[in-house]
Amino acid sequence: MSDGFSIGAVLQGQMIVDCPHCNETIDFNAERCRFCGHPVDRKAAQSAAELLAEISQACNAASHIASFVGISVAFSLLDFFSLLFIPFHNMLPGTALTGVLLFVPVLALRWKIRFGQIVSQYPDFRNARRTVTVSGIVGGLLLCFILFLSVLTLIRH
Ligand SMILES: [Zn+2]
């Protein structure tokens, strides 16, 4: 038998958790499970609620990192194509992006340190973890690519 609560979901601000006894979803604030009458363990429910809050923060932070990378990718592509069509185009936007992109691996690393040890099968959290890993890799590759293009541009000048 499971000894703790697992995360249910947050519905319209109401916190719900899974009853460890019968597995039905119940209100976090209830005294007893309304299905089997099992008393709700305040401490377990509290830590389940805290974990849920932590997970929702982790998901938010992950989507920020992802949109950061998405915007950077869009601008880099724009920059790359203008480089193809306008010879000796100066890499000014690219150079500015390099500075911005330097933050992506830092943000991804900070996320891993802060939320990396959370153990949860909650699908949103697993997605968030994957998003951060992919963002870190894409951001890092993009950074190398921009640095490479910048060096190339310098040589051509
Ligand atoms: Zn129950």
pTM exceeding the 0.85 threshold for the entire prediction = no
Q: What is the pLDDT of residues 25-56, one digit of tens each?
A: 888 788 899 999 999 888 877 787 788 888 88
pLDDT at 121 over 60: yes
Token digits of residue 20 = 């460890």
Distance 17 CA to ligand 1 centre (A): 10
Per-domain boundaries in the chain: 1-40, 54-156
**Residue 23 reports pLDDT greater than 50:** yes
Q: How far is the CA of 120 from the centre of ligand 1 (A)?
A: 21
pLDDT digit string, tens, across residues 74-98 = 877 777 677 677 655 555 555 566 6
Question: Nearest 10 degrees: CA dihedral of 114, 117, 118, 122?
Answer: 110
Separation of 83 CA from ligand 1 center, angstroms?
63
| Token pair listed for 68 | 């950061």
User: How far from chain centre, in Å, is Cα 125?
Assistant: 8
**Residue 133 alpha carbon to ligand 1 centre in Å:** 37
| 18 Cα to the center of ligand 1, angstroms | 8
Residue 103 vs residue 4, higher pLDDT:
103
